[in-house]
Amino acid sequence: MGVLNVTPDSFSDGGLYLDPDRALEHALAMEAEGAGIIDVGGESTRPVGARAVSAEVEIARVRPVLERLGRRLRVPFSIDTRRAAVARIALDAGAAIINDISALGFDAAMLPMAAAAGCAVVLMHMRGGPADHARHARYRDVVAQVGEFLRARADAAIAAGVRPARIIVDPGFGFAKTARHNLELMGGLSRICALGYPVLVGASRKRFVRTIAGGSAIEVAYGTAAVNTLALAGGASIIRVHEAAPAAAVIRMVVAIVARGGP
Ligand code: PMM
């Protein structure tokens, strides 16, 4: 899953793709590099100082990009939003997936709309909102509690009419989690996979990677690749990344090794 942030202030790529034609160009480049999904977002969720935007602003940012993707992209695309009004526009433009960092819990209209649309949904674990989730990073057993949350949200989605085969779950790396929590979630990824849904891991360029691997561009890139390699080996089905080419190389390598019975 290649990230296409149409925001002025996202953590690592803010402001780069506000122009819809540049955004399309980047999406097509990621597709050519091997991205199987393009994830379009118009709301920054950076941990410190993310500015809340209205649905109107979010729509104004993403609509021209979504319309271009609907016409030009061959791979499916997702909309990274917590708002049903934004998701509606994306679905109308051809989006196949709603990627909701609030696990369809922020906007009451989201669940019924996703169920009626029959699209796939990414249910991500977070606590609090984009601006204050860091304050909520306290757990008794982070793997168990994230797993319980994801199971409950999946159950709620199914009760609302979302088909189980349409559900993807995501532990929400970096959202209301310290570096230690992120590492524990990596260690316990098989327990998240055991929920029975495809698991998405979004660790690309996140702060815990910078903290541990180092903050230079090459350290962040290799740190991201290391997390993604272990996530795939641990059972993840989708890795959400800013750079499609190295992620595609990681996938090719892991798939080849796992097909031979390793590691
Ligand atoms: N991370 C960000 C935004 N959206 N969606 C999912 N499903 N999982 C994530 O980990 C996730 C997300 C924040 O990262 P960015 O600002 O670099 O896009």
Domain with 112 in it? 2-259
Q: What is the pLDDT of residue 15?
A: 79
What lies within 8 Å, CB to CB, of 84 at 6+ separation is: 107, 109, 110, 113
Residue 252 scores a pLDDT above 60: yes
Q: Which residues are near ligand 1 (CB < 6 Å)? A: 3, 5, 10-12, 45-46, 80, 99, 101, 122, 124, 170, 172-173, 200, 202, 205, 240
Residue 195's pLDDT band (boundaries 50, 70, 90)? Answer: very high
Q: How many domains does the chain have?
A: 1
Cβ–Cβ under 8 Å, residues 98 and 122: yes
Q: Find the mean pLDDT for residues 178-188.
A: 98
Looking at the chain, the whole-number percentage of residues with pLDDT higher than 90 is 87
Q: Which amino acid is at 178?
A: T
Catalytic positions:
206, 240
Helix (H) or strand (E) run with residue 253 in it: helix 244-259
Residue nearest atom 3 of ligand 1, based on CA coordinates: 45
Q: Find the mean pLDDT for residues 187-191.
A: 98
Residue 82's pLDDT band (boundaries 50, 70, 90)? Answer: very high
What gap in Å lies between CA 65 and CA 15, rounded to an integer?
14
Q: Which atom of ligand 1 is nearest to the CA of 11?
A: 16
What gap in Å lies between CA 97 and CA 167, rounded to an integer?
10
Q: What is the pLDDT of residue 156?
A: 98
Q: What is the pLDDT of residue 46?
A: 64
Q: Find the mean pLDDT for residues 61-69.
A: 97
Residue 48 scores a pLDDT above 70: no
Residue 168 scores a pLDDT above 70: yes
Quick: pLDDT tens for 133-153: 888 999 999 999 999 999 999
Residue 259 scores a pLDDT above 60: yes
Q: Can you say whether residue 235 is alpha, beta or left, with left for phi > 0 and alpha for psi between -120 and 50 degrees?
A: left
Q: What is the pLDDT of residue 209?
A: 98
Q: Find the mean pLDDT for residues 86-95.
A: 98
What lies within 8 Å, CB to CB, of 146 at 6+ separation is: 125, 139, 171, 172, 185, 192
Residue 108 CA to ligand 1 centre (angstroms):
21
Q: What is the pLDDT of residue 183?
A: 98
Residue 51's pLDDT band (boundaries 50, 70, 90)? Answer: low
Q: What is the pLDDT of residue 108?
A: 97
Cα–Cα distances (Å) from 148 to 5, 83, 165, 192, 230, in that order, read 29, 24, 19, 9, 23
Helix (H) or strand (E) run with residue 124 in it: strand 120-124
Helix (H) or strand (E) run with residue 39 in it: strand 38-41
What gap in Å lies between CA 200 and CA 87, rounded to an integer?
19
Residue 260 CA to ligand 1 centre (angstroms):
32
Give the predicted TM-score (pTM) of the model.
Answer: 0.96
Which residues in 100-126 are b (16+ Cβ under 10 Å) and which e? bbbbbbebeebbebbbebebbbbbbbb
Residue 9's pLDDT band (boundaries 50, 70, 90)? Answer: confident
- Averaged confidence pLDDT in the chain: 94
Q: Find the mean pLDDT for residues 115-133.
A: 93
Residue 208: give its domain's CATH number.
Answer: 3.20.20.20
